[in-house]
Amino acid sequence: MAEPTSQSQSPSPPRPPLLDVHVHAVGAGDSDSGIWVSPRYRRSPVWLFAKWQLGLLGSDGRIDRTYAEKLAAAVRESPLDAAVVQGFDGFYDARGELDRRRTDFLVPNEHVARLGADFPEILPAASVNPLRRDWADELAKCAEFRCLYVKINPCAMGFDPGEERLRTFYRRMAELRLPLMCHIGPERALTSFGHRLADPAGLGPALEEGLVVIAAHAGTSAAVVDRHPYFANLVRMMERHERLYADSSAIAQPPRWHWMRRIAGNELVRSRLLHGSDYPLPPVALPWGGMNWRKCRALPRGNNIARDFAIKEAFGIGREAAERAGAVLMPAARPTPTD
């Protein structure tokens, strides 16, 4: 019998897991989750629409668990291996205390960590407002929970990520090997304290402190005519910083549809793109660009995780971005480029 060749003796390295890096935790605080939703936000069209389209209008008393079960099933029935589910921190006052009057909702990091333990299809991501008094303790918990990144939303949390005083926060994140995700562009779903707070030009201090940074929504805006400089600023920042990535969350939603082809056609952004859906917000397919009526009709129905992925795959930014997400965020495969 012939001896096996050296080629047959060297198995191919395993592929990174296919990840959706931008999924929200939704709940009503009807369990021990610690989720809190403000009375004002419970009456908002965004909250009511989310409950309706998820089939949760009749689930009062069990929304927290029902949502998690529906999400895990959607991932399981999609081409993806896992969804990265975010916590969400609130607005903090000058003393570093939580201000619920200016907070729409809270999702504790402990909750997403428990979801990750309960469902193999869910991986936890944390959220920490750097203005909270106990941010150092909270970051330590995030590392203990093995969160894949820490999310900030400057518009909703009321701070400029480019402030020099935040370098200590970023430095500690780098020491803990916690990547940063930052909401970029105008905030439409939550109370916003100014969209200029979410300009990618403000990510310099975090990148200079050695963080892997993910610009959520790839600098796009939910407007047919985009007059903001955020995408152009994202490209300029990517040219300067190899650790800066973007995610594709929300670009399959109607107001951002025109961004799909532009992002797919930008070589630099595409090479740093990570797949994200913005679930539970639903994607919409239009017969334009990389799609036609036949492709639209063939898309998965009743599963927005799979549908969002299929739409982006039609533009060539589905599987490659999902695989890159696994390579960047899973600790064993995380790259460590130098600026």
Higher per-residue confidence, 296 vs 123: 123
Which residues contact residue 179 at a Cβ distance below 8 angstroms, ignoring those fewer than 6 apart? 148, 149, 150, 173, 211, 212, 213, 214, 328, 329, 334
Considering the chain, what percentage of its residues have pLDDT values greater than 90? 67
Asked if residue 133 has pLDDT above 60, the reply is: yes
pTM of the predicted structure, to 2 decimals: 0.91
Q: Band the pLDDT of 83: cuts 50, 70, 90.
A: very high
- Which of 86-95, 217-226, 232-241, 285-294 is the least confident region? 217-226
> What's the confidence (pLDDT) of residue 13?
65
> What's the confidence (pLDDT) of residue 58?
67
- Can you tell me the distance from the alpha carbon of 48 to that of 58, in angstroms, rounded to the nearest whole number? 12
Asked if residue 279 has pLDDT above 90, the reply is: yes
> What's the confidence (pLDDT) of residue 333?
38
> What's the confidence (pLDDT) of residue 288?
74
Mean pLDDT, residues 16-38: 93
Average pLDDT along the chain: 89
- Can you tell me the distance from the alpha carbon of 19 to that of 79, in angstroms, rounded to the nearest whole number? 10
Mean pLDDT, residues 178-198: 82
Dihedral in degrees, nearest 10, Cα atoms 14, 20, 21, 27:
-130
Q: Which residues pair with 23 in a beta bridge?
A: 85, 279
Q: Could you report the per-residue pLDDT of 219-256, keeping only the tens digit for each?
A: 887 666 567 789 999 999 999 999 999 999 999 988 78
Residue with tokens 């330590």: 140
- Can you tell me the distance from the alpha carbon of 60 to that of 67, in angstroms, rounded to the nearest whole number? 11
Mean pLDDT, residues 307-318: 94
Mean pLDDT, residues 83-102: 96
> What's the confidence (pLDDT) of residue 192?
67
Task: State the fold for domain 15-329.
Answer: TIM Barrel (3.20.20)
Q: Band the pLDDT of 25: cuts 50, 70, 90.
A: very high
234, containing H or E segment: helix 230-240
Mean pLDDT, residues 29-52: 86
Which residues contact residue 206 at a Cβ distance below 8 angstroms, ignoring those fewer than 6 apart? 161, 166, 170, 173, 180, 182, 213
Residue 104 in tokens: 């729409």
Q: Band the pLDDT of 2: cuts 50, 70, 90.
A: very low
- Which of 59-63, 154-158, 228-232, 283-287 is the least confident region? 59-63
Higher per-residue confidence, 2 vs 105: 105
Domain ranges of the chain: 15-329
> What's the confidence (pLDDT) of residue 146?
96
Higher per-residue confidence, 334 vs 163: 163
Mean pLDDT, residues 71-98: 97
